[in-house]
Every structure is written in structure tokens, then in C-alpha cells.
Structure 1
Amino acid sequence: MLNPLYHLAANAIVFFRKGFAPIFGADSFFAWAFSVVLLVIAVRVLIFPLFVKQVKSQRTMQMMQPRIKEIREKYGHDKPRMQQEIMALQKEHGNPLLGCLPIVLQIPLFISLFHVFTHLAPMNEGPNGSLVWRPRVGLSAEQVEQIASAKVFGISLASEFGSDSDFVHFLGVNSTHVKILAVVLIVLMGLTTFMTQRQIMARTGPVDPQQAIVQKVLLYGSPLMLAVFGFRFPIAVLLYWLTTNLWSMGQQFFVIKRMPPVRPLPA
């Protein structure tokens, strides 16, 4: 079902690599790495209008908090009526679920990129069981080999912290260097995820107790979860996630700084 997305992600990376090839060389690690970075930038620019709507939606939720608190106090004994009043308020001032759209739209791209870079290993289909390259998810056998074989300091974009020994030996990857870079990227990924979540909490302002618990779980749980799973992510995916976080931090700072202060809705 997701094959079209896998092909789209793969073709986009190949397309961007053509632009970097004259600068770094067609088979350069940096040509492919910057293609991943440019893919992030292209996607984030495309969904920028949705991000602005997300910020406005969150600010609206912040403005509604005093009114929601009043409704909870007034109808706390009548749960159905309380929910009805809150839903009516949200309907009047905008659906807060719209704020989730930018995150939701990026999930398929992340899955596609993860799929592309975890399917670059050679296959045991050559003579006498030798390893050979095969076409994968929109990439020719030659392109698969170019991406996986492009290295800097013995590090391939397709390698990960726990890369299979056959893969390491076949490509001539330096497993120590891969582990060092993977750990650095995982730490930076976790740190920037934490900082991004802190930004979101700061701009959301005071929330009800249940939302506060959710925010704290996301603040500390998201970086921890990414750190755990990051050891199974290829270097390219770690680079993608770090770039996304850095873009998010800069984008949030730029947009929020230019918006007027949040004021509660009139009673």
C-alpha cells in the first residue's frame, strides 16, 4: 500500500543528488547526505502553511483555556453537558485537531525513508551464494550500490549502530566509526526533540491537569523512545530526524516571535 510513497521518497533523493553531484561527485557520501537534508527542507516548505495553522490552532486552544475551566466548574456534575459545551466552544473557535496535521503528514515520509534505507543491503543471489546488488523500491541496482557504497570515514548512510557483520565486511564499513556517529546523532536527536517539545509547552501556556501530564510524558518520553529506537535507524534516517528537529526549532521560533501575545477569549 505504501509502495508509491517508497518510490516517491527514493526518486526525490535521486533527483536532489543530481544537483549535488557536480559539487561533491556522483558517488559522494555528501551528495547523498545533502539530498536527504534537502528532502526534509522541501517537505517542510510545502507544509509550512499547515504549520502556521497548527500554531494558530494551539494559540486558540490556549485562549480557550479560561472558558473551558469555567465550563468544567459549572457542569462538572453533568459530564455529557460539559462535553457538549466544550465541543460547542471548540466548534465556534476552530478544531484543535488541525494542529496535528503537520506531524501526521510527516509520518508517511519518515516510514518511506526508513524503508528505503533499511532495504539497501545486498542479497545472497549471486553465483555460489555471493552477495549481489538488486533493484529496490524505485532504485536501480546501480543506485542501490551507489548509496550504500558512498562512505566518509568508513561510514555509509545505509549503515546503523548494529549493522550486520556481512553488510559491514561487504561494504568495507568501519563499524567503530559508524557506532560513534550513530551515538552522536542519537544524542543530538534526543536533545533537539526535548528542546522542540519544550518550545511547544512554552507556547501552549497553562493547561488543565490531564494535558499537563500528557505534555510531561511527551517531554521526557519522546527523547527516550527515540534514543532506544535510534540504535536501529540507519545513519540517513538519523540525519533526517535531526534535520527535521532543527528545522522545527527554527521555524517555531520565527513564526511565534512574529505573532501577537495570546489573550483569553472574552466571557
Structure 2
Amino acid sequence: MDIGSFFQTLLTPIKWVIEAILVGFHWLLSEVFGLDPAAGLTWVLSIVGLVLLVRALLIPIFVRQIKSQRKMLEVAPQLKKIQDKYKGKKDQFSREAMQRETMELYRKAGTSPFSSCLPLLIQMPIFFSLFSVLNEAKPQPDGSFKAGVGLLTQQLSEQFGSASLFGIAPLRFSIQSSLEANPVNWVVVIIAAVMVVIMTASQFVTQLQIMAKNQSPEMKESPMYRQQRILLYILPLVFAFSGFAFPIGVMFYWLTSNIWTMVQQFLVIRNMPTPGSEAALAREARLAKKARRKMGDDAAALEEAAAEETKKTTTQRQQPVGKARAKKSGGAKR
């Protein structure tokens, strides 16, 4: 068995789940909302639905990632001490001792530098499974279409493999295959290029807001921060190169996932910032301002209630005396 067949075998269970979710959203959009089952827009929205469901299911893992990053922040000063302790020592014994002490530090803290990559590692098999599903849903040499491994029947595979966005941009086409086509499909090239630009920009903004606003001074001194600085410029290049070969159907998955990540990261930085970071100071300022505003509103409400009570008391004391009562009162005095 070659490597390609081995990975296909590993991805088969994930492909089955991907097909089930994809077909489920496709049925919902076509049967319930009345969209054309063969239209490219229907399949694109099905892919978007797949992304939203997968990312929603990954929220608990993302929360665990945040907690792990908090613990990494706590051990950052101790990690730096270990690195300073073995700084300049390149012998085998020193390297092994440094590695042991570092792993022991992570073990006691209950964290790992790899835990922050867990959501990405889980998404990659899903991404490649979708790529495989879309890549296999294409005309065979005899013109027929191959059914998927699960609920993607031959008929649905034909619809999926033949679907085109706007009727002129096949979802199975990439920039590479579009340029190789005769004539060149410039619509796919333009759509894919725009998507690559948006994906690159969204990833850059996501990484930049983490580094600019959600890093404490201790974190900026750690090796992890330097790695993030490198990723800030490497990941956009990954999108630029991979966008050349991936079908636009798969790129819709990647684009939607990137936008989800950007919005999710914005909400996390705003509401759960790293202690000591710029975002944490901004949140404390917002909460303090909100508290002052609330205290001001409460004080104004108390003043208004006190004024109303004073007004009622004054009105009761100054009630006018009736004529009969006044006459009676005057006669009694005489």
C-alpha cells in the first residue's frame, strides 16, 4: 500500500462524516428552502454550513486552548529562567537536562506548547477530507461520476462535481486547472484570487490582533512570542501558495473558517483578554467607566426619588382649607 492509499484509508471515516453533514445541509437548502439542488450556490452554502457546524463543535476545545495559553503565560518566567540557566551550553548533557526540566515544568503546570495547535490539528483532517470529497466528485474518464464513501450518492456526486458558481465557475476548478483549461476560465481565476487576498488579510488581522493587544510583557519575552511573529508573515504566504492549487469549493471552507476565527478571536480578546495585556487594561477601563456610569445613574435616580418625595410632602403640608372649615374655625375662635 502506497502513502496515498494509506492516507485515503485513514480519512475514510472523516469523509463519511463530512459527506453526511454536507448532504444534510444540501437537503435542508434544497428541500426546505427551495434552492436549486444542482446550483453552485446551494453547494457553497452547504460548505458554509459544514464550517459553522464544525467550528461550533470545536468551541470547547478552543476554550481549553485559551486556558492552556493562560497556563503557558504563568510558566513563562520560569521557562525563561531554565533557558538562561543553560544559555550557551551546547553539550548533549545540558540539552537533555534543559529538555527534562522544561517538560517537568509543563507537566506541573498541566499544559503543553502543542495544546495551542490542537484546534488547527483537528481541522486539518476535515479540510483534507473535504478536498478529497470534492476532488473525487469529478467526471471519470468514461464521463461517469463516482459515488462517495457515505451518503454522497452518484447523483449527488454528479451535482456536486458539476456545480458552478454563477453558472460559469465550477467549484472543482482551481487557479491552476483554470489556467490549464482551453479556453482559460478567468472567472475562476479572479474569484480564487480575491478569496486568497481575503483569506490572507483575515489571517494577518487575526494574528496581528493577538500579538498587538493580547500579549502581556512577560509573554513578549518568551520564545512563543517570537514564533508568533514568524507565523504572522509565514501563514499569509501559505495561503497565497496553496490558493493556487486548491479548488474554489475547498477555498470557501477555508475562507469561512478564517472569518470565524477572526471574529472569535476578537470576542475572546475583548471579553477574556490575557492578564496584563493591552486588551486587559482596555477591558478594565471599560468596566470602570461602566461602573461609574451606573453609579451616576443610581445617584441620579436617588436624587430624583428624593425630590419626588419632598414634593409630595410639601404638597400634603400646603393643602388648601375649605370655606366651610375655614368659617367653622373662625367661629370657634370668636
After TM superposition, is the score higher than 0.5? Answer: yes
State yes or no: 1:118 paired with 2:129: no
Superposition map of 1:104-115 within 5 A: 104-115=121-132
Distance across 1 between alignment mates of 2:110 and 2:229: 25
Distance 1:216 1:162, change over 3 A: same
**What residue in structure 2 maps to residue 35 of structure 1?**
46
Distance across 1 between alignment mates of 2:13 and 2:86: 49
Distance across 2 between alignment mates of 1:133 and 1:260: 50
SS at match of 1:133: coil
**What residue in structure 1 maps to residue 110 of structure 2?**
94
- 1:53 aligned to which of 57, 64, 70: 64
Which letter maps to 2:208? R
Which stretch of structure 1 is more off in the superposition, 140-149 or 157-166?
157-166
Deviation of 1:111 after TM superposition, in Å, equals 0.6
Distance across 2 between alignment mates of 1:194 and 1:4: 33
Unaligned runs of 5+ in 1: 126-130
SS at match of 2:136: coil
Distance across 1 between alignment mates of 2:220 and 2:110: 18
Query: Any idea what the Cα deviations from partners look like across 1:46-68, whole Å, max 9, x if unmatched?
Result: 11011011012112212322222
Query: Which is higher, the Rg of structure 1 or of structure 2?
Result: 2
Superposition map of 1:208-247 within 5 A: 208=221, 210-247=223-260
Deviation of 1:27 after TM superposition, in Å, equals 2.0
Which stretch of structure 1 is more off in the superposition, 156-165 or 34-43?
156-165
TM-score, length-scaled by structure 1: 0.85
SS at match of 1:162: helix
Deviation of 1:237 after TM superposition, in Å, equals 0.9
Distance 1:24 1:174, change over 3 A: farther
Deviation of 1:159 after TM superposition, in Å, equals 1.8
**What residue in structure 2 maps to residue 19 of structure 1?**
28
Q: Which has the higher contact order (CA 8 A, sep 6+)?
A: 1
Distance 1:157 1:64, change over 3 A: same
- 2:172 aligned to which of 137, 146, 158: 158
Deviation of 1:80 after TM superposition, in Å, equals 4.3
Distance across 2 between alignment mates of 1:29 and 1:104: 29
**Percent identity among equivalent residues?**
36
Which stretch of structure 1 is more off in the superposition, 200-209 or 87-96?
200-209
Distance across 2 between alignment mates of 1:244 and 1:132: 32
Which letter maps to 1:20? L
Distance across 1 between alignment mates of 2:13 and 2:98: 44
CA contact 2:71–2:111 (8 Å) conserved in 1? no
Superposition map of 1:184-223 within 5 A: 184-202=194-212, 203-205=214-216, 206-208=219-221, 210-223=223-236
Unaligned runs of 5+ in 2: 1-8, 278-334
State yes or no: 1:182 paired with 2:182: no
**What residue in structure 1 maps to residue 298 of structure 2?**
none
CA contact 1:155–1:174 (8 Å) conserved in 2? no
- 1:7 aligned to which of 8, 16, 27: 16
Distance 1:159 1:79, change over 3 A: closer
**What residue in structure 1 maps to residue 296 of structure 2?**
none
Tell me how large the CA RMSD over aligned residues is: 2.6
SS at match of 1:218: helix
Query: Any idea what the Cα deviations from partners look like across 1:182-234, whole Å, max 9, x if unmatched?
Result: 11111111111222222343434434564444323311111112211211111
